[in-house]
Amino acid sequence: MSINSNNILVTGGAGYIGSHIVELLIKLKAKVFIYDNLSTGYKKLINKKAKFIKGDIKNFKDLSLIINKNRIHSIIHLAAYLNINEGEKNKKKYFKNNVGGTLNLVKACNNNSVKNIIFSSSCSIYGNKKNSVNEKTKPKPKSYYAFTKFKSEEIIKKYSKKFKYKYGILRYFNVAGASKSGKIGEVEKSHGHLIKNIAIQSQKAKPQINVYGNDYNTKDGTCVRDYIHIMDLAEIHLKILKNISISKKSLILNCGYGKGYSVQEIIEVFKKLKKNVKVKYKKRRPRMLAYMHTCTHACMHTCMDSYTRSCVHIHARMQSCTHTRIHAHMMSHSIAYHTIAYHNATRLHACMHACPHTRTRARACLHASARTRAHTRVYMHT
């Protein structure tokens, strides 16, 4: 399958990861349809060259109409809620959206036009595993969010025979960074992701980072995670889409680099850039896992040859020292923030005469973006 010859539907394409996948698809001249209800997605992340449909995956009729009318050939399904805390407090909401929405989506593929579904799953489905996990590790979700991802995987597998599609289930580890285009990045505030938070704090005069729990059973007491760069992850989607449509074989894949870093280690890197950073240690957040990192070898062996090559390529690119890798994540986030802050500032600037309150905010914003530029230079030189 060549990416540009068929219609591709991206649910959740106005979100952080979705917008990066769409950017790559558009570069390859694919015909992309974004389906998103903008609950945690943003208009400013929507690629102008894609067709945007505002809609909800809980609406079966709507989904069915869109898939049939546009003869959708492949679906990349990202739409979901992903806040672990919120999921614990509001299980019904998470079940309806993540599991019910996925069920609607696969049932809407009943006309057999859809040949491939790529699903955004999560490493959290493995539960707490001190050693690295591979795709054959038995899932044991600890949080309700992880449970909804696991259930969604089951649904996608179950219906693949009935509706004759192949699937690629991608279990993401911790996603970080932003596109070099600087036009998109992670902007949703409710997702408390560490590297994003550090990038935001890097723009402040008095940066502060909260660490939730330093009494885990890890080397320094803080959680260990395997961070994957967003552009590598986006590339994996395209390669897997090509792979399953050529091989006609479904697959499950862990998406990480095979090395875990503790929160404290990442903060130490940040401290070298921002000496005045204040670190506040707080209570653990519920259902947080101490460890999450994949086993690279398993990832390579379970893939087909073409993917293995790309995987090796990605590893080569990222196989530098901790510092360089974390800097790369932070730097790209920072550039995206700079651009987004700049756009916001320009918009605010236009209405500066409206009220004195706006005027103050606009000045603060412009100030922040000027500072980001300086930081970006710092990152580039380190």
Ligand X SMILES: NC(=O)c1ccc[n+]([C@@H]2O[C@H](COP(=O)([O-])OP(=O)(O)OC[C@H]3O[C@@H](n4cnc5c(N)ncnc54)[C@H](O)[C@@H]3O)[C@@H](O)[C@H]2O)c1
Chain residues in the site for ligand X (CB under 6 A): 11-12, 14-18, 36-41, 56-58, 78-82, 97, 101, 120, 122, 172, 174-175, 188
Task: Say which DSSP state 98 is in.
Answer: I
Give the nearer residue to ligand X in terms of CB position, either 36 or 207.
36
The residue count of the chain comes to 382
Catalytic residue among 145, 167, 172, 227: 145
Question: Would you state the structure tokens that stand for residue 142, as one six-digit string?
Answer: 């600890």
Tell me, yes or no, if 165 is annotated catalytic: no
d(CA 33, CA 19): 12
The total of other beta-carbon atoms located within 10 Å of residue 58's CB is: 15
- Tell me the backbone φ, ψ of residue 342, rounded to 5 degrees: -65, -45
Kindly tell me which of 45 and 311 has the beta carbon lying closer to ligand X.
45
Q: Closer to ligand X at the Cβ: 108 or 362?
A: 108
| Dist. CA 229–CA 257, nearest whole Å | 9
Contact between residue 291 and residue 224 where contact means Cβ atoms under 8 Å apart: yes
Q: Which is nearer to ligand X, 171 or 274 (CB)?
A: 171
CB 233 within 8 A of CB 17: yes
Cβ neighbours around 299 below 10 Å, total: 23
Closest CA to 182 of 318, 342, 43, 327: 342
Return the SS3 of 171: strand
φ/ψ (deg, to 5) at 78: -110, -20
Please state, in angstroms and rounded to a whole number, the distance separating the CA atoms of residues 250 and 248. Answer: 7
Burial of 71 (0-12, 13-18, 19+ CB in 10 A): exposed
Cβ distance 118 to 167 under 8 Å? Answer: yes
249: which residues sit within 8 A by CB, 6+ positions away? Answer: 166, 304
Which residue lies nearer to ligand X by CB, 137 or 362? 137
Q: State the distance between the two ends of the chain, measured CA to CA, in whole angstroms.
A: 42
CB of residue 81 to ligand X, shortest distance in Å? 6
**Residue 166 or 171 with smaller CB distance to ligand X:** 171
Q: Least Å distance between CB 142 and ligand X?
A: 14
- Is the Cβ of residue 188 or residue 268 nearer to ligand X in the bound state? 188
CA distance 328 to 379: 8
User: What does DSSP say about strands 261-262 and 291-292: parallel, antiparallel, or unpaired?
Assistant: unpaired
- Residue the block writes with tokens 């704090």: 201
For the annotated catalytic residues, the residue numbers are 145
